[in-house]
Amino acid sequence: MIKTVFIASTEPHAGKSIVSIGLVNTLLGKAQKIGYFKPIISQSQFEQKENHIDSIVSYFDLPTTYEDTYAFTWQDAMRQMETESQGEMIDTIIRKFKYLENKYDFTVVEGTDYMGEGVAFEFEINIQIAKNLRAPAILVVSGEDKSTAQVVNGALTAIHNFEAREVQVLALIANKINPDSARDVEELLRQQLPAEILLAVIPAEKGLQSPTMKEINQKLNGKLLFGENYLSNQADNFVTGAMQVPNFLGYLKENVVIITPGDRGDIIISALQANSSTSYPKVSGIILTAGMEPEEPIIRLINGLQNVVPIIAVESGTFQTSNEVGAIRSKITPDNTKKIQLAIDTFNRCVNIGELDKRLVTFKPSGITPRMFQYQLTEWAKSSKKHIVLPEGNDERILKAAARLMNQGIVNLTILGDITEITGIVNRLNIDLDLSTVRIINPASDEYYDDYVNTLYELRKNKNVNLEMARDLMTDVSYFGTMMVYKGHADGMVSGAVHTTLHTIRPALQFIKTKPGISVVSSIFFMCLPDRVSVFGDCAVNPNPTAEQLAEIAISSAESSQRFGIEPRVAMLSYSSGTSGEGEDVEKVRRATEIVKSKRPDLKVEGPIQYDAAVDPVVGSNKLPGSEVAGQASVLIFPDLNTGNNTYKAVQRETGALAIGPMLQGLNKPVNDLSRGCTVDDIFNTVIITAIQCQDNQ
């Protein structure tokens, strides 16, 4: 059984609160601990709780704090968007959601209320959130003021948009449907919906849509004169009292609100009398307009009556007040338990609870988004915090990434560079980095400088490195940072934002060296595609590996894949598949595949195989039927650096995939290289995977 579901609407006032309340009520009968999460709320005032969240948490007595039920207000979310920090916003939402997911048996997640300026923009945000939480969606569409065709077309379009972005739709709820059209809507949707999508049609329910007198009083900013005990009265209809009493009484309907000037004592008294009479419909309340209140004899008369309905005085005129009352959208509030129970009853009556249970039990999420993969990496890194050295402290990208790493408590950091220069960059760019939380070292003046010099000399004197050369080399941040790792003063190093790959990894090759049994250092990228994460190797280090080296790269990449939670299915890539091709390059891949099979018979490996046959199930089954790898490869090994580097960049640019890496594999201790065109995200992610590598060395 899945542990979450995402409830999303396609427009404002679709009534998804009915679905949230009904679903929470249903789940509480099947699980002990239910969580509720609304990633982005409309409420902007922190001192006032959002009605819908408060209603669900208080009515069902959910064991969660209000602060845990949301991540952002709409204003805060928009500020994140404006500063191009959508990724960080999604990261925060994932973190808060994961906290609830780990704490509760099931978490109901609810999308935004469409109170922003752009409906299409907000719709897209909801899709992105659902996708990153790997949550199936229950879509709620509204039939209010719509024809049958409009409801059906809108619902099918919404489903298509969700599924086109790899968000699976669990159920469709067509809400507020004209009762006369409900059957037609249901039949047309059933004909066109996939069988796996549950359908429910909820006819418009007056009791859920009508505001209470309390809501009316609050919206009109009125002055309550009488009837405080009856503010929960529901206002299904309203009428303007501007005619003579005999005519006026003929317009009364059940649960009516009467809007009349405050000096119309005749209308006020007749309305109260009608409410007491068994011959007339119930009156919900009276609104007195134009800033006038009843004269003293009328007040005295009302004071002597029992069960007086709410009487509210407002400053606006009768026409304006009527328009304002007609525009009020009712909300389910914590104190209106009658309406909450009606929402539950409506949900239970219209939704096939048994079928919904089956879909929740059998649903299996597919794929993993880049942000969710990043979240998992972050949690692994936090589980055993490591110490990483960043040699390029004068680069603003390094300092921005350091700020994120420290603020999230992922690693401990040492930054190499001049403290004055680093402080100046942080202050000038207003980077949120508390320099007291990181260690800043100037290599030439550090207490370990002489020790590092002597160590380097001893390690490299047989390679014609004298003491003076060692002194000179140890002022180089790459050598100093690598020596910190070698001596155990740091667990790993990340560099290359400013320096070349050779400059970054040369010291590591000289004295950290490779692990026993490993003859070649190689690299992988974690390619975070829309529906999966694949491992690409080697795309950064070895220009033209031999068959033996290619086999070693494949084995190292498979082990790295497994370490990071991705089941390794290894594709040894070439320009032909199986036995169809000939030539020196194909033979190299064929030999490398045989070496992998002989050294690691436990690995699923296929080669030579073309890229399309490796990743496309249809092509894979046609070219290599029966293969355990074809069509579902997770580790793709390229025959040379030219192919690998160009392919990873092409995939990254054309698909928008997030490429995390390169991560070097084969060294005794973790040292990783950055691209000189790297972003803050690249640095952030590379430090995290380096920290996880460090955990394997403890």
Q: What is the pLDDT of residues 432-468, one digit of tens each?
A: 899 999 999 999 899 999 999 999 999 999 998 999 9
- Sign of the CA dihedral with 316 first, then 320, 322, and 326 last: negative
106-135 pLDDT tens trace = 999 999 888 766 677 888 889 989 988 889
Cα–Cα distances in angstroms (integers) from residue 432 to residues 3, 396, 633, 697, in the given order: 35, 12, 41, 31
* pLDDT of 316 higher than 80: yes
Spatial neighbors of 7 by CB under 8 A, at least 6 apart, are 16, 19, 20, 23, 108, 109, 110, 111, 137, 138, 140
Q: Report how far residue 658's alpha carbon sits from residue 338's, in angstroms, rounded to the nearest whole number.
A: 49
For the chain, the structural domain boundaries read: 4-209+338-360, 213-329, 368-513+667-698, 518-665
* pLDDT of 225 higher than 70: yes
CB-CB neighbours of 439 under 10 Å: 15
DSSP H or E run through 129: helix 119-132
What is the spatial order of strands in the sheet that 169-177 belongs to?
A: 70-73, 34-41, 106-110, 4-9, 137-142, 169-177, 198-203
What is the fold of 4-209+338-360?
Answer: Rossmann fold (3.40.50)
* pLDDT of 673 higher than 80: yes
DSSP bridge partners of 140: 9, 173
Asked whether the beta carbons of 257 and 286 are under 8 A apart, the reply is yes
Q: Which residues of 256-275 are buried (b: 16+ CB within 10 A; e: fewer)?
A: bbbbbbbbbbebbbbbbebb
Mean pLDDT of 85-112: 88
**CATH architecture of structural domain 213-329:** 3-Layer(aba) Sandwich (3.40)
Q: Report how far residue 294's alpha carbon sits from residue 308's, in angstroms, rounded to the nearest whole number.
A: 15
Is domain 368-513+667-698 given the CATH code 3.40.50.10950 in the classification?
yes
- CA 497 to chain centroid, in Å, comes to 29
Asked whether the beta carbons of 497 and 503 are under 8 A apart, the reply is no
Specify the residue for token string 């047989």: 462
DSSP bridge partners of 273: none
Say what the alpha-carbon torsion angle 93, 97, 99, 103 is, to the nearest 10 degrees: 170
Residue 332: the pLDDT is: 83
Both structure tokens of 97: 């959601």
Is domain 518-665 given the CATH code 3.90.600.10 in the classification?
no
Mean pLDDT of 603-621: 92
Range 419-428, long-range pairs (CB < 8 A, 24+ positions): 421/393, 421/394, 422/393, 422/394, 425/394, 425/396, 425/399, 426/399
Q: Do domains 213-329 and 368-513+667-698 have the same CATH topology?
A: no
Percent share of the chain, pLDDT over 90: 58
Residue 117: the pLDDT is: 63
Q: Report how far residue 94's alpha carbon sits from residue 393's, in angstroms, rounded to the nearest whole number.
A: 30
Asked whether the beta carbons of 186 and 352 are under 8 A apart, the reply is no
Residue 259: the pLDDT is: 93
How much is the mean pLDDT over the chain?
Answer: 89
